[in-house]
Amino acid sequence: MTYGTLYQRIGRALKVCRVRHGDLSLDATADKLEKHYGTRVNKTTISTWERGRVAISLEVLEAYAQTFDTTIMAILKDAGLGEAA
């Protein structure tokens, strides 16, 4: 599996997570992430992650998971990358 494919699979899982939790807009997701992460993340960055154009850092992935009341492992499972804990 290439890094691009990996990023795309994780990106799709991030979008699924966002849609499952009320299909929040990218702006609303950015606002929620700011509360958990402490730094403003803009909607373009979130879109870039979701499209698999760039990797999301582990720190931000953890904040994303917390924002949507899930775990990194659950996101990775949705991406087809492992078993949920």
- Global pTM reads 0.86
DSSP string, 4-33: HHHHHHHHHHHHHHHHHTT---HHHHHHHH
Q: For the segment 11-70, what is each residue's pLDDT rounded down to a tens digit?
A: 999 999 999 988 899 999 999 999 888 878 999 999 999 999 999 999 999 999 999 999
Burial of 34 (0-12, 13-18, 19+ CB in 10 A): middle
Compute and round to an integer the Cα radius of gyration of the chain.
Answer: 12
Hey, what domains does the chain have and what are their CATH numbers? 3-78 (1.10.260.40)
Q: 43-48 long-range contacts, Cβ below 8 Å, gap at least 24? A: 46/14
Classify residue 83 by its DSSP letter. -
> How much is the pLDDT for 76?
94
